[in-house]
Amino acid sequence: MAAEEGIQTIVATPHVLRGRWQNTSPQKLQATLEELRVRTKGRPNLLLGSEYFFAHDIADVVQTGKVLPLAGSRYVLIEFASNAIPPMVEQPLYRLQLEGWTPIIAHPERNQIFQAKPELLAGLINLGAKTQVTCGSFVGAFGPEAQRAAEQWLAREMVHVIATDAHNTKRRPPLARVAIERVTELAGENRADALARRNPAAIVSGKPLEYDPDPLLPQKSGGLMNRLQRLFGHRDRSNS
């Protein structure tokens, strides 16, 4: 199904340390990936990663090797619960970056707190985090609030990657083609290509993102994120 959608590469991202989905054995995950590669005959190309359910010790957990980065890169996919953002989330994400990792926040448009407080997400982006928005959100598959957030953040340059987050063939199939068409309508062909192809390719290659803009959203004064920005300076834009 993914190949028919035009997808050439899939980074498989099994849930890690989320409830009953522990998936902390890289050896078992790699073995499963090899089995899938045989069954799919290399179409699409399959690579391994993980989706880590956020906890404040993320930097320590990543160092243990239990959280697999995306395709062996220095990018780590992180998810939050759909109805909450933990307090003081900025500190562990910033520490993760000090250790040389780049956090990518999975499906933030489906999080009720980010929907209500987009300035919180913009602040994390200004501290160096990236965002991965689900393709289905652009076509209403996750409801009107997620669609509204996805479209608004696209306009505000707060989206770095779009991905299917496909889980199965019926309820959560890959919806790449129609989503890319919608993003093209909203933001143009060049931006759609950056979000669907060039930025993902950079992540898989372990390179800086080609499209990496500043969020077009005013930041509220005060708070930890602004203090960190003043202390450490604005994030490096040399590769944006």
DSSP code, position 196: I
The answer to whether the CB of 146 falls within 8 A of the CB of 133 is: no
Whose tokens are 């890690």? That residue is 16
Q: What residue type is assigned to position 197 of the chain?
A: R
Burial of 39 from C-beta contacts in 10 A (0-12 / 13-18 / 19+)? exposed
Domain 3-232, CATH homologous superfamily name and number: Metal-dependent hydrolases (3.20.20.140)
Rg of the chain, C-alpha, whole Å = 17
Domain ranges of the chain: 3-232
Single pTM value for the model: 0.89
Tens-level pLDDT at each residue, the chain (240 residues): 999 999 999 999 999 887 777 888 889 999 999 999 999 998 999 999 999 999 999 999 999 988 999 999 999 999 999 999 999 999 999 999 999 999 999 999 999 999 999 999 999 999 999 999 999 999 999 999 999 999 999 999 999 999 999 999 999 999 999 999 999 999 999 999 999 999 999 999 999 999 999 999 755 545 555 555 555 444 444 444
Q: Which two tokens stand for residue 86?
A: 């933990």
